[in-house]
Amino acid sequence: MSRKNLIGLLPIAAVLLIPLLTQNPYLLHMFILSLLWIVLGQSWNLLGGYTGQISYGHAAFFGVGAYTTGIMVKSGQSPSTAWWGLLFGGLMAALVAAFIGWVCFRLRGSYFSLSVLALSEVLRLVAVNWNRLTNGAEGILFIPAFTQKTYYYYIVFALAAVNLGVIRWVMRSKPGYYFLAIREDQDCAESLGIDTTKYKLLSLLISAFFTGAAGAFYMNYMGFIDPGIVFSIADISIMMILVTMLGGAATKWGPAVGAILFILVSEIFRVWVGSGHLLFFGVLIIAIIIYFPNGIVGTLVDRRTRKRRLRGAEAVA
Amino acid sequence: MTALLELKDVTKRFGGLQAVGHMTFSLDKGEILGLIGPNGAGKTTIFNLINGFYPPTSGTILFKGKRIDGLKPHTVCRLGLARTFQVVKPLARLSVLDNVMVSAFSRTNHREEARTTALEATTFTEMDAWRDVPAGSLPLGMRKRLEMARALATKPEILLLDENFAGLNPTEVEKTNAIVKKIHATGITILIIEHNMRVIMAISHRLICINYGEKIAEGTPQEVATNPQVVEAYLGAAHA
């Protein structure tokens, strides 16, 4: 392993040590939420940032993951077995994704973006009305398996690490190159031998799987979900976009930076301002798109490469 | 000689407009066949039909004796038929090398192999110095050459070149000419669309001239250039 990779691992190691330094439940809660949103941001980024397929309805996959776990417990499993929900929730979300992707990815343009938005609303209504399965609008409540937050911290940390690892690995191999080609120009991608429908679907499946797993974690951790929370357009789907755009779409660390800032700002609003966070984020996303279309990490990376190129040009001259 | 590619009575209509009508020709192995005709004659449409972007309205297209009409472009590419685009399509935010690697992945699943193929293709097209440049910031001449490098990296048997000389300065034209000849020397069969008459007359073994989607002449460059119908299509009836 190169030295650069080792330096890259340092922040990960530091994050791993956090629960040894503090047992403060409030702080740990913030860290857990940040990690959860890192998973959500990274998953959206794979499909939206790298593959260029914008989803306005990722709450569909989050909700399916959460409800899969919730229904497992509701049907008599103990909350600790619900950890399998991370796997099953992810798989169920991928199944739903396979359906919508198989239908929509033959087409180009906004069909997928809008269909997945509709899908998340349809699923929310199903969750509200299918009382016998989902408890309807009352939602699902159970006592979480652990009282110690440290466990949750390490579980969501593992999820985020696996998520990051899988995405890095995919982006360095053939599918990753194909995702980028599809984002840049689909006609060109096709003529270079890329089955665009298949690879868009692959990107969506990976993205939906991890989003579903994150939903399952959310159910396990919070112990309560209802349709309005997990299928929320404003609080899940749009925030996943915001987190990615804020940090920098199609960058390695962008979603992580975006997620941490997002949790920080949300908390500031919750504690000191009370309400209005949606309005604030709305204005923020407009500002990002106008002034920093590459997000925080994207802008920094751009600046660095431009400097390096300038230096290169000077060296030549 | 056996025909590597055959078009048999291929017609393409867009609504009431016939873009290509009853097109029949064949491309022999090892040949350079030129496709000429005035703007809007349907040359690029023929490429789009061969490469699978459009299914023909009627007629058949055979590659090595097997039908390829109606297949998707990615399948056609994998069979060994690569193309370049007249309106260049660089993958703008990817480096030149990554652009070529993308197409090299059509023949391998391994990153290192794709990289090796891409390095070879960029060297072959003399783009070594441009490898790390984002394709979106290349000058036009290099974009045209990137099209060729990418097509080559898919290891084709037939290469469809769509106006790779257009917009180039005389030095670049010379360079591209040499590269096309080098490509042909490796055993790749070439179908080329070109408006630069000096280039295409010199490079092609055979020429086909089309006008309003129909073939009006076929033969050696000399025969086609002196064909009255061809002269009329380009210069008007007064000169024919």
What domains are there in chain B, each with its CATH number? 1-80+157-164+189-240 (3.40.50.300)
Are the Cβ atoms of A187 and B53 closer than 8 angstroms?
A: yes
Domains of chain A (ranges plus CATH)? 24-316 (1.10.3470)
User: Quick one: pLDDT at residue A148?
Assistant: 85
Chain A residues near residue B96 by CB distance under 8 angstroms: none
Helix (H, G, I), strand (E, B) or coil at A225: strand
Chain B residues near residue A189 by CB distance under 8 angstroms: 91, 102
User: Quick one: pLDDT at residue B218?
Assistant: 94
Residue type, A223: G
Side-chain-side CA neighbours of residue A130 (13 Å): 11
- d(CA A229, nearest CA chain B) in Å: 37
Chain B residues near residue A191 by CB distance under 8 angstroms: 51, 53, 73-74, 77, 82-83, 85
User: Quick one: pLDDT at residue B240?
Assistant: 62
Are the Cβ atoms of A181 and B102 closer than 8 angstroms?
A: yes
Query: The complex's ipTM?
Result: 0.91
Q: How many residues are there in chain A?
A: 317
Evaluated on CA atoms A219, A224, A230, A235, the torsion sign reads: negative
- d(CA B114, nearest CA chain A) in Å: 9
User: Quick one: pLDDT at residue A81?
Assistant: 76
Backbone angles phi, psi at A226, to 5 degrees: -140, 165
Give pLDDT tens digits for B21-80. Answer: 999 999 999 999 999 999 889 999 999 999 999 999 999 999 999 999 999 999 999 999
Nearest-CB residue to A192 (from B72, B109, B150): B150
Nearest-CB residue to A177 (from B77, B101, B150): B101
In B28-87, the residues whose Cβ lies within 8 Å of chain A are 51-53, 72-74, 77-78, 82-83, 85
Chain B residues near residue A194 by CB distance under 8 angstroms: 74, 102, 106
Nearest-CB residue to A173 (from B77, B82, B111): B111
Q: Distance between CA B174 and CA B199 in Å, rounded?
A: 9
B2: tokens are: 């056996």
Sequence-separated (6 or more) residues with CB below 8 Å from residue A59: A120, A124, A230, A231, A232, A233, A235, A236, A237
Residue B51's closest chain A neighbor by CA?
A191
Q: Distance between CA B217 and CA B231 in Å, rounded?
A: 11
Instruction: Please give the distance of CA A268 from its chain centroid, rounded to a whole number.
Output: 22
Residues of chain A with pLDDT under 50: 1, 316-317
In A175-204, the residues whose Cβ lies within 8 Å of chain B are 177-178, 180-181, 184-185, 187-196
A230: tokens are: 């997990």
Instruction: Please give the distance of CA B46 from its chain centroid, rounded to a whole number.
Output: 10
Closest by CA position to B176, among listed B216, B210, B135, B148 = B148
Strand B158-162 to B81-83 pairing: parallel
Q: Distance between CA B13 and CA B212 in Å, rounded?
A: 12
Q: Distance between CA B102 and CA B153 in Å, rounded?
A: 9
Q: Distance between CA B120 and CA B206 in Å, rounded?
A: 30
User: Quick one: pLDDT at residue A317?
Assistant: 45
Residues of chain B with pLDDT under 70: 1, 240
Burial letters A185-213, b for 16+ CB under 10 A, else e = bbebbbbbbbbbbebbbbbbbbbbbbbbb
